[in-house]
């Protein structure tokens, strides 16, 4: 039986002496391990399979952690983790108490900076490099960024800053012609033009290697040829963006040839000015299903390795409900357009793209541009729907305020993955959108509790002349209740259960499934409770709400957002001012970053599981009984 190379690696030093055949074998083992674990746990597959050789080459040339790597987004760091002492724990990736699917400083000294969102690596790496310079610490700093992440404005801002200075930052541009959805825009087209020179780069590599092998005269000749080529390129070729910004440009290189990568990286390591190394890789390499459909295998749930089939919700998900509803609205109204920031499949817009391609816009990983672009579309008479994950929408708060709310234009924001988000950890939790957007004047916030309400609220939002945020979780839609089909009345929610009892649960739609489970548990134990689902987070019909709660002795709020600045905080204060005799309790997320785990585990950690809701209701009943005795 062949000895496993990967299982014996405890640090990057262990790969330094490997031969070329052993490197090939190691690459194969790494791919097999990643496919096996992601198949069981879910995770980011295509991006990780594409950078196996690149990661090996980086660790053979540079000396981590003395040399620091900053991975943009970080969803391509699995090989890095396997080579830096985490092989034994790799099966726990993205699981509760397991290793993260992204770089984490607390997890390993080889992870120089926590990442999880796009286009941040060059800024962070430059900061690390300058801190080392000021402190007199040794080591190179390398930023690894994909061509998709390069579409983000922050990456271009950082390139402009770095190129102005006398520094030796190394930027590895991992060009796989993909972000999450296929890349669009001028940057992608520009990189494609650069990659047309790949055949030249192969010739250049072979020619340089041959010249250097000439006895005695090889090195001087190679040095002369290098200087001559730089001078000639300076005279004849002026259209390289990176050179214009002040970088040395190297590439494009074959990102799956470790020998070629190592040779170039060793040369680059000796430079004393900023450099961009352009590397061509294939997303999903080594697993044919992912190579043929890298978008579907970008971020994926547990799947069957033999056929690639993914575990499905037993019922329709909120994303699917939104997708179907938007198609219906677009069929009725030709002014409805859809916008995504490189997430057409994840946000459910792929069917819209297929059916209405002329009304679909993928702006790349550029949420700020997406929002202001939508504002312009709305000002021009269109009805734009911007579908972005809640955690990524945080990056465009200024644009929502200045370019949409202040303009009072009818943009609809569909915030997928609001509330607790399973498996991806702190960087992907959608817990802050209510607190961020509720204070903004003129902005309506709604939270459907079912597939039917998703359809009703989207239709209502598209008929308004002011902007609306509709938030919903990454979860299956709960069983429909008759109340969820009731006509929309602005500022008012609906009673999912109303039997005239003494305790009322008031919840946001995203956590209704857990509340419903809790009400069933209470009913079966002879301790039933009423439930009011907030359709509107803002505006609120305060008189109607106070009238609804006036007959209750206690109200338990359950909100899938942070407590500070949340709607529950506001309504509890309103009850305290208008009906001080009513007891209130709030279950919401605290001011901590919540670790990775399943949705149920995150809710349990936050004290918001169905069992916690049941306990809160029973405690309130005990308090009511104590007051009666007093």
Query: Tens of pLDDT along 82-131?
Result: 999 999 999 999 998 889 889 999 999 999 989 888 899 999 999 999 99
Percent of the chain with pLDDT over 70: 90
Cβ atoms of 373 and 337 within 8 Å: the answer is no
Cβ atoms of 362 and 344 within 8 Å: the answer is yes
pLDDT at 438: 96
**274: alpha, beta or left, given left = phi > 0 and alpha = psi -120 to 50?**
beta
Q: Is the pLDDT score of 240 beyond 50?
A: yes
pLDDT (tens digit per residue) in 553-579: 999 999 999 999 999 999 999 999 999
Q: Is the pLDDT score of 204 beyond 80?
A: no
pLDDT (tens digit per residue) in 209-218: 676 677 766 6
Q: Is the pLDDT score of 271 beyond 90?
A: no
pLDDT at 197: 45
Domains in the chain, ordered, with CATH? 6-300 (3.40.50.970), 318-471 (3.40.50.970), 492-629 (3.40.50.920)
Catalytic residue among 94, 104, 283, 621: 283
In the numeric block, which tokens belong to residue 173?
């541009």
Catalytic residue among 329, 367, 426, 452: 367
Integer-rounded Cα radius of gyration of the chain: 27
Count the Cβ atoms, other than its own, within 10 Å of residue 330. Answer: 21
Catalytic residue flag (residue 36) = no
Distance CA 314, CA 79 (A): 33
pLDDT at 297: 80
Catalytic residue flag (residue 213) = no
Distance CA 386, CA 339 (A): 5
Question: What are the two backbone dihedrals, phi and then psi, of residue 389, each rounded to the nearest 5 degrees?
Answer: -60, 145
Of 341, 346, 339, nearest in space to 319 by CA:
346
Cβ atoms of 587 and 86 within 8 Å: the answer is no
pLDDT at 236: 45
Q: Is the pLDDT score of 187 beyond 90?
A: no
Catalytic residue flag (residue 367) = yes
Catalytic residue among 94, 140, 395, 621: 395
| Mean pLDDT across 482-500 | 93
In the numeric block, which tokens belong to residue 77?
């760091």
Distance CA 348, CA 340 (A): 10
DSSP code, position 14:
G
| Mean pLDDT across 325-337 | 97
Of 12, 116, 30, nearest in space to 68 by CA:
12
pLDDT at 208: 64
């Amino acid at each position: 039986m062949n000895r496993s190379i990967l299982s014996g690696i405890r640090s990057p030093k262990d790969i330094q002496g490997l031969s070329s055949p052993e490197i090939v074998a190691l690459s194969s083992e790494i791919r097999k391990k990643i496919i096996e674990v992601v198949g069981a746990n879910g995770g980011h597959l295509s991006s990780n399979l594409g950078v196996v050789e690149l990661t090996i080459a980086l660790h053979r040339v540079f000396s981590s952690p003395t040399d620091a790597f900053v991975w943009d987004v970080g969803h391509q760091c699995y090989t890095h983790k396997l080579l830096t002492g985490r092989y034994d724990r790799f099966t726990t990736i993205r699981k509760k108490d397991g290793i993260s699917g992204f770089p984490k400083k607390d997890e390993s000294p080889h992870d120089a900076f926590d990442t999880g969102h796009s286009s941040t690596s060059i800024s962070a790496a430059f900061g690390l490099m300058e801190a080392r310079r000021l402190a007199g610490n040794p080591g190179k700093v390398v930023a690894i960024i994909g061509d998709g992440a390069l579409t983000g404005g922050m990456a271009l801002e950082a390139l402009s800053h770095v190129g102005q200075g006398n520094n030796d930052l190394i930027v590895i541009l991992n060009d796989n012609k993909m972000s999450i959805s296929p890349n669009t825009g001028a940057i992608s087209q520009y990189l494609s033009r650069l990659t047309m020179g790949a055949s030249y780069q192969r010739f250049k590599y072979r020619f340089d290697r041959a010249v250097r092998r000439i006895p005695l005269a090889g090195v001087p000749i190679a040095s002369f040829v290098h200087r001559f080529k730089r001078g000639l390129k300076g005279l004849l070729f002026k259209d390289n963006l990176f050179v214009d910004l002040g970088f040395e440009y190297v590439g494009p290189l074959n990102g799956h040839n470790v020998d070629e990568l190592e040779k170039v990286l060793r040369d680059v390591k000796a430079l004393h000015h900023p450099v961009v190394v352009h590397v061509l890789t294939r997303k999903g390499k080594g697993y044919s299903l992912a190579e043929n459909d890298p978008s579907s295998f970008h971020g994926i749930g547990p799947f069957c390795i033999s056929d690639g089939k993914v575990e499905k919700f037993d019922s329709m998900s909120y994303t699917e409900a939104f997708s179907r509803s938007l198609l219906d609205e677009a069929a009725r109204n030709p002014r409805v357009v859809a916008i995504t920031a490189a997430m057409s499949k994840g946000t459910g817009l792929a069917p819209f793209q297929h059916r209405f391609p002329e009304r679909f816009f993928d702006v790349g990983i550029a949420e700020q541009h997406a929002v202001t672009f939508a504002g312009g579309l709305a000002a021009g008479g269109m009805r734009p729907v911007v579908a972005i994950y809640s955690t990524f929408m945080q990056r465009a708060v200024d644009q929502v305020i200045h370019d949409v709310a202040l303009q009072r234009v009818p943009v609809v924001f569909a915030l997928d993955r609001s509330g607790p988000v399973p498996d991806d950890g702190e960087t992907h939790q959608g817990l802050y959108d209510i607190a961020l957007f509720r204070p903004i004047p003129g902005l309506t916030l709604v939270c459907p509790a079912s597939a039917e309400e998703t359809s009703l609220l989207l239709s209502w939002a598209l008929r308004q002349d002011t902007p609306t945020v509709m938030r919903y979780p990454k979860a299956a839609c709960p069983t429909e209740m008759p109340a969820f089909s009731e006509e929309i009345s602005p500022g008012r929610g609906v009673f999912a259960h109303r039997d005239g009892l003494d305790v009322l649960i008031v919840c946001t739609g995203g956590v209704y499934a857990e509340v419903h489970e809790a009400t069933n548990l209470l009913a079966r134990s002879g301790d039933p409770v009423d439930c009011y689902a907030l359709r509107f987070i803002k505006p609120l019909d305060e008189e109607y709400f106070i009238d609804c709660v006036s007959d209750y002795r206690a109200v338990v709020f359950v909100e899938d957002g942070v407590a500070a600045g949340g709607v529950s905080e506001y309504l509890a204060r309103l009850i305290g001012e208008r009906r001080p005799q009513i007891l209130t309790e709030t279950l919401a997320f605290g001011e901590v970053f919540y670790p990775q785990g399943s949705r149920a585990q995150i809710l349990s950690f936050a004290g918001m599981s169905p069992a916690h809701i049941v306990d809160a209701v029973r405690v309130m009943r005990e308090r009511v009984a104590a007051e009666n005795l007093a």
